[in-house]
Structure formats: structure tokens, C-alpha cells
Structure 1
Amino acid sequence: MLFLLVLIASCTVVNGVDLKIDENTIYVIKDLNKYEKTIEDMKIVVENIKKETAEQKKHVNEYENNQYSADIMSINAEIEKLKQYSGFTDVRGPGIYLTVSDSLIDDDSIDIMKRLIHDVDITVLLNDLKAAGAEAIAVNNKRIINVSEVVCAGPLLGINGDKVSAPFLISAIGDMEALYDAVNEEGTYAYELKNKYGMEVVTRMTYVTVPKFHGDDYRINFASSAER
């Protein structure tokens, strides 16, 4: 700008002609230079705002993506938990294996039907284990869930739509001692089967693997969510 003023001052006389540039003209030129600088400064400010906005948008996107990922992980964890509670995952833990089979005693004084394992016997044993805190149960690797059936099928039992035969291996996960007592203490149903009717009842405390439910016919026909 100083160069421009000097140039203007030196050019007030050109070819003997007095250009007579007054002070107002000089002030106008000064103002133009000032405005030009102001515009450049504003451009810098705008550019900085754009950069800051882009950075903030990036942070927002990262947060939303992280939040989305966290939500997905939380939902997946909840699904896995529900699957575990419902019997749709393999599980492992402390528990017992209980083997039950028909009586080996050849005693005509005991009705032959009472020396055979029936569906009601298995059902009572399962209920005793549930009452003792069993968290997962299977019979001959058939997972017992809320819709599982244990029904008589001639000399076999029907469980989850499949036929299984004796001996019946019941695997249950829970407190070992509590589960063991539930099928061994005097007065329990298993104790009566073994000592009164000669059924073979063998219990072993160990770490147990219970497979997930594999039934193909799992569906709910009548129950639906009860909205408040």
C-alpha cells in the first residue's frame, strides 16, 4: 500500500499536467486496501470454521459408529444370553451324570411293569433335579427345555420328537452336591427306584456338557407377547 501511495504521489504531475489527486482519493484507496485485507481475513476465518466443522462432524460420525457398534454388541450379548437361558446353546459346568435303566432283579413278586423305567419315572427325576437347582438338563443328549416332552413310545421314550431307549443318561448342570443329594438321599424318588424296585441308578459327580436343543418342531402356536 505504501508503494501505491508513493506511486500516486510521484504521478501527480504527468507530462506537465497536474493530476491534482486530492486527499479524498487517497482515503478511498486506503479504504479499498483495508476492505481487501478484511475480506482476506474473513476468508481465513470461514476456512477455519469449515475445517472445525468437518472435524466436529468426523467426531460425531465416530461417536455414532462406536455407539452403533456398542449397541450391536449389546444386542448380540443379550441374544446369546437368551439362547443360553432357553437351551439353544451348548453349555458346560459342574454337575452330575445320572444313569437309569430297567431293573436287573428277577423277582416275580414285583410286577414286571414296575421293574421297567417309564416316562413318568424320568419326568419325576427331571423335576427333582430342577427343584435342586439344575440349570441345564439333557436325557440321552436330548436337551430338556420348556416345550420338551417325555412320553411313552412302547418300549422306548419319546423326547423332543425322537425315540430313545434305556439306559437313560441324564446330564444336569448345577451345584454338584445338591444335585447328587436330590437323587441319592433316602426318601427321594431315585432312591425308591433303586432300593425298592431294583432299578439301576448310578450317579457320578463331574464336569458336564449339555448339548443345545435340536428339535425341528419348535414353534409357538397359541402364546403371544402380552403387551401392557
Structure 2
Amino acid sequence: MKQKGNYIIVSLILFVVGFLVAFSYQQTNSKPKVTQLSENEWEKDYFYRQQLIDIEDKNKQLEDELTTLRQTVQDFEQDIGEEKKQIGDLVDTKKRLQILTGELPVEGEGIEISLKDADYIPSEDNVNQYIVHDRHIHLVINELYSAGAKAIAINGQRIYADSYIQCVGPVISVDGNVYPAPFVISAIGAPDVLDVSLNLTNGVVDNLLYDNIEVTVEQMPEIEMDARAS
């Protein structure tokens, strides 16, 4: 029995040793093999790697140049936009000056203000206190320009930057042309704005009424004024 037990123990030991040897061999065969590159293959690998690095550097350089060019284009477009706005402003200013000097005809909505001498003049009072004077005309015209009127005419005669208005007895002289009352002052502009400006409390209309001048204000859908004759 003792010999049989020893045999079993020896068999187990041999089995374990055999298993370990077989497992070790299998693990050795399963490990990746180290590939040995030739000198020529090393040179090719280095060459391709260097080319890849150069391409990446070139791409970075091109990306930086593209960013710079995009910024340049953006700045250029902004400058063009500002120049267009400046040119547009200059064109608008030129047009306004041409309208003011009468070089261009003008038409549009606006208002008409009629100034008339008082119908009743007390015999004991001075008649000059009841008729329209050039200062009344100037008062209306100045207020209309302040309210944004583009163009103004008196009895159909357009007023220019160098126009002069004088009172000659019961009539008004506009650039040498004489007109009797009533005096109709036409103004092209925003009707509501012009109307409100004239009718402010203690404003133009109130002052004219205080001076015994009969005043009517009418909004007009269309007013036309010719350019100054050459």
C-alpha cells in the first residue's frame, strides 16, 4: 500500500511538471515577435515621417495665412461699407443743397399757410397794425425750415437760399417780384410735423393772430415747385 501511495504522488508531480512545461511553451509561442528592420527600411520610415511632419507644418502655415487673408478681406469689406455710407451721405447732402439753392425741382406733400390782412380795421387805430408785414413772412418761413421743410414758395414763387423779402406798403416784394395779400406760403415736408410746429402754444400762429393777421393752415397731399431758371 505504501508503494502504491508513493506511485500516485510521483504521477501527480510528473503531471503538474508536464502541464507547466506545455503551458510555458504555448505562452512563448504566443508572444509577438520583434520585427527587425533593415537599414533601407529604416531610412524609408524616417523619410515618410519627415514628409508627414513637413506637410503638417505647411498646413499650419497655410491655415495661418488663410486666417490673415480672411481678416484682411473682412477689414476691406468694412472699409468699403463705410465708404459707401459716406458717399451716400455726401449724395444726400448734395441733393439737399441743390434743392435749397433751387437747382432741382421738388414735389411732395406739405402744407399751405395763408396770411391775410384783417378784414376790420378800427378807424382810430393805425392801419399798419392790421396788415401783413415782411417780418410775419420771415417768422413763418424760419419756423417751417426749422421744422424740416425741404422747399418753400410764396404765392407760387420759390424761395432760395439767397432770396430776399421786403415789405413795400401793402404788398410784399419777393426777389423783386411784387405780390399783394393774401400771401400763400407753401412748404414741402411732413405735413403733421410742420402743422404742429406752427400751432405750438405761443408759437407762430398765436403771434400772428395777436398781430391781427388772419391765418389759415391746410395740409396738402401734393405740392410741386420748379427748379430755378438758368
TM-score range, shorter chain: 0.5 to 0.7
Change (3 A) 1:186 1:135: same
Structure 1 position 81, deviation (Å): 6.8
Which of 190, 197, 203 matches 2:217? Answer: 203
Partners of 1:193 and 1:80 in 2: how far apart? 33
Partners of 2:199 and 2:107 in 1: how far apart? 23
Count residues with an aligned counterpart: 140
Change (3 A) 1:214 1:113: same
Partners of 2:115 and 2:197 in 1: how far apart? 14
**Residue 133 of structure 1 aligns with which residue?**
148
In terms of Rg, which structure is larger? 2
Q: Tell me the alpha carbon deviations over residues 50-108 of structure 1, each in whole angstroms, 9 at most, x when there is no partner.
A: xxxxxxxxxxxxxxxxxxxxxxxxxxx99877533422333111210111110123335
Within-5 A mapping of 1:77-96: 83-96=98-111
Q: Structure 1 length as normaliser, TM-score?
A: 0.54
Within-5 A mapping of 1:1-228: 83-108=98-123, 110-194=125-209, 196-214=210-228
Structure 1 position 126, deviation (Å): 0.4
Q: Tell me the alpha carbon deviations over residues 18-59 of structure 1, each in whole angstroms, 9 at most, x when there is no partner.
A: xxxxxxxxxxxxxxxxxxxxxxxxxxxxxxxxxxxxxxxxxx
Partners of 1:80 and 1:129 in 2: how far apart? 19
Structure 1 position 163, deviation (Å): 0.9
Q: What's the Cα RMSD here?
A: 2.6
Q: 5+ unaligned residues in a row in structure 1: which ranges?
A: 1-76, 217-228
Higher percent of residues as helix = 2
Partners of 2:137 and 2:97 in 1: how far apart? 26
Q: 5+ unaligned residues in a row in structure 2: which ranges?
A: 1-91
The residue type paired with residue 86 of structure 1 is T
Q: Tell me the alpha carbon deviations over residues 120-164 of structure 1, each in whole angstroms, 9 at most, x when there is no partner.
A: 110111001111111110011111111000112232111122111
Give the stretch that moved more between structures: 130-139 or 88-97: 88-97
Structure 1 position 210, deviation (Å): 3.8
Partners of 2:113 and 2:212 in 1: how far apart? 15
What is the percent sequence identity of the aligned residues? 28
